[in-house]
Every structure is written in structure tokens, then in C-alpha cells.
Amino acid sequence: MKPRLLVARRLFPDVLAPLAAAYELDVHDSDQPLPPAALAARLQGCWGLLGSGTERVDAALLAACPTLQAVALVTVGFNNLDLAACRARGLRLSNAPGVLTEATADFGLALLLAAARRVGEGERFVRAGQWQGWAIDQFAGAPVAGTTLGVVGMGRIGTAIARRARHGFGMRIVYSQRSTSPEAEALQAQHLPLPDLLRQADHVVVMVPYGPDTHHLIGASELAWMKPSATLVNLARGGVVDDAALAAALQQGRLAAAGLDVFEGEPEVHPALLACPNAVLTPHIASSTLPTRRAMVQLAVDNLLAWADGRPGPTPI
């Protein structure tokens, strides 16, 4: 008998098809995540879970699902997994790093440009029929080329953003993380403590993993260090930035603009952020090109097929 596998999201059927040779598939063919109780119910008798970043796998779920032995995620982030509980159980775990680096970096620059140059405000102005003609200072935004970019978290994606900024826009790069980066040195990037980075940067991109040590890494005090003319972009995870504090800074003119692709409690968005015309808000789509999203699912499939053959998967957590 084949082991049962729950596919907890609507994904690409043709990419999933090879799994049918190794697993009995139960596909939740919906874009709506299963609530915790429904997830636990669907996992009864399942050996594996193919999930995204929304299915919480913690001690309570594992206690309710004694047959669960493996979790393959189509996302690079895995803060929905209680790693201690999963490892205590001996679960096989995988995510999807690497394949979304370039698409996400492209989108990071797009958000930065849209926020700094007030693209969203101008687009809404035209659609509302308010444009009556050219004006010398109409929607004057902040320059990007030749300015200083601060990257908080110089991992794969942070480095790819910095590379685009350096070579495409002639920006000076400063970055903050625990250790120095050889890749950053090739970009003539300067390693700085976070307070110094926030004080010096004209634009800041946040790209750190989410965890207890990065919860509200950018909060009210950190926002106060930034230039009033600065732009903040968050591509990391909701919760790394204090959304309420950010909205207050935007509304009070203490920060010029923000571009956000992730939010605390998403898909809910803080109402104060929705009221900020100087915030560009997108629905967690930084990696969303079809080739990239298909590659993310393919990595999860590759891990599951390897496990079915008794081999280690290509991208273990």
C-alpha cells in the first residue's frame, strides 16, 4: 500500500503528477488554507504533508497526527514549523530555497522604485480622473540612482538585490547581519551595525528570516533612526517589521514611503497601513512568476520522491 500524502494547497497538477506513482494523494484543491482542526482531520492516516507557509506544524498537530513522518514545503520560509517538535518526532523536512532568488530580487527593486517614486499614488490619481495636467512638483519622489541602499540580511536574496542596486543603479551598499559576507565585499558593500545602517541609508530593504530574535526587528525606535526622506521595503516575513509603528511613521511624516509584500497576520493588513497613500502594498507575490512558482513546487516534489526511494532530499531543513 502506498503511503498517503496530503497536498494542502492548489498547486500545479502536472508538476504533482509524478507523486501518484509513490503516494496515495489527497489534494486540497483550494487557495484557502485548511484551518488547524480541518488540517489535523485531513492528516489522519497520512505519512506526509506537502504544504506552504500557512500550515502550522507544531506539537499539538503532531500529537493529533501520529502517522505524520514528513513535511515538504513549496516555500523557502519555514517559520510555520515548530522545528523542535518536528525534530523530536524525527520528521523529514524540506523547503524550496534558491529557485526564487532572482524573481524575488527583481520584485524587491520594483517595490523600492514604486514606493520611492510614488508610482502607486500617481496611478491612483490618474484612475480617479484627478489629473488635470503637468505640474513642476507633481508627485515628486525620492531619487534612487546613486543613493545609499541598506540591506538588512545579506543572504541569497539580499545579495541579489544589492547586486542589482550596485550595478544597475550605481548605489552605495551598506548591510547589516551577524557576520560579514564575501559576496558583499565584491559589491564594495560596507558591513554596519543596524542603527548605523538605518541612519545612513536612503532606502532600506529587509530580508531576514522570521523568528523570535527578529520579531519587530524594525520597530518604533528603529524607524526613528531612519531619515524622514527614506523608503523601507519589507520582503522578509510579516512580524519582522512592526506594522503599526510603520503606519504611524508614514502618517506623521517621519518616513517618506514604504513598500510591503508581507504583513503581520496576513492576509489581514493593519487598517492604518491601508490608509497610508505613501505605502505600496502587494499580496505576498515577490516570487510570483510562473517559472519560479513551478520550480518551488518541483523542489517539494523532488524531496518527496527522494524520500519515497529511501534517499535524502535535495533541500532538507
Residue of 56, 191, 284, 294 with catalytic role? 284
Q: Which residues of 211-227 are buried (b: 16+ CB within 10 A; e: fewer)?
A: eeebebbbeeebbebbb
Catalytic annotation on 237?
A: yes
**In the chain, which residue ranges form alpha helices assigned H by DSSP?**
13-16, 36-42, 59-64, 83-89, 101-116, 119-127, 156-169, 182-186, 194-200, 220-225, 243-251, 271-274, 290-308
Q: Is 92 helix (H, G, I), strand (E, B) or coil?
A: strand
Identify which of 262, 87, 267, 54 has the alpha carbon closest to the alpha carbon of residue 157: 262
Rounded Cα gap, residues 248 and 222, in angstroms: 13
Residue of 89, 199, 266, 294 with catalytic role? 266
279 phi/psi in degrees, rounded to 5: -115, 130
| Residues whose CB falls within 8 Å of the CB of residue 262, separated by 6 or more in sequence, listed in order | 234, 235, 236, 237, 238, 240, 284
Amino acid at residue number 18: P
Residue 15 and residue 294 in contact, taking contact as beta carbons nearer than 8 Å: yes
Residue 207 and residue 151 in contact, taking contact as beta carbons nearer than 8 Å: yes
Q: From the centroid of its chain, how far is CA 131?
A: 35
Sheet holding 24-27, edge to edge: 24-27, 4-7, 48-51, 70-73, 92-94
Sheet holding 257-260, edge to edge: 190-191, 172-176, 148-152, 203-206, 231-234, 257-260, 279-281
Residue of 237, 264, 270, 293 with catalytic role? 237
Residue 80, all three cell numbers: 510555520
Catalytic annotation on 92?
A: no
Catalytic annotation on 266?
A: yes
Q: What are the residue numbers of the active site? A: 237, 266, 284
